[in-house]
A = this chain, B = another copy of it.
């Protein structure tokens, strides 16, 4: 699972917007500064988020960006799909379309099961929860094993 810089920046921008409680919109420059992200790059990402309905924008002196949907309804998965495309892709297609000859047929089960487990996490966390500084208990539970925090290296 490769999370691009673009997707990471998009999530951080949405979290920042979710934390702006007062009515005033946030300028892209302010978001970029708060999250230490290249301003012009973030501008392009905010454009994508606007086209996909996550934020609305206003130009002019008091302009900026606002969340367009309640933060409680925006799942991490929604953002990743809008920015990076499908969560799970096998050779450029979706898992249920992967076809194998009989000797490798079980591979498809692996890809479908993999997608299920990816969805459990990414559809189980909302921008509102992240903006509040946490994740749901069932997700947090997954991180409690110390091994979860260790990299498993390639065997050579």
Contacts and interface: CB of A to CB of B under 8 A. Distances in A.
A91 B36 contact: no
A148 B90 CA distance: 15
B133 A8 contact: no
Copies of this chain present = 2
A104 B12 CA distance: 6
Dominant secondary structure at the A interface: helix
A29 interface: no
- Per CB-CB distance, the 7 closest pairs between chain A and chain B, nearest first, are A117-B117, A113-B142, A1-B1, A116-B142, A114-B121, A3-B90, A112-B143
Interface of A: 1-5, 8, 11-12, 15-16, 19, 34-36, 52-53, 76-78, 81-82, 86-92, 94, 96, 98, 100-107, 109-123, 125, 129-131, 133-135, 139-140, 142-143, 145, 148-156
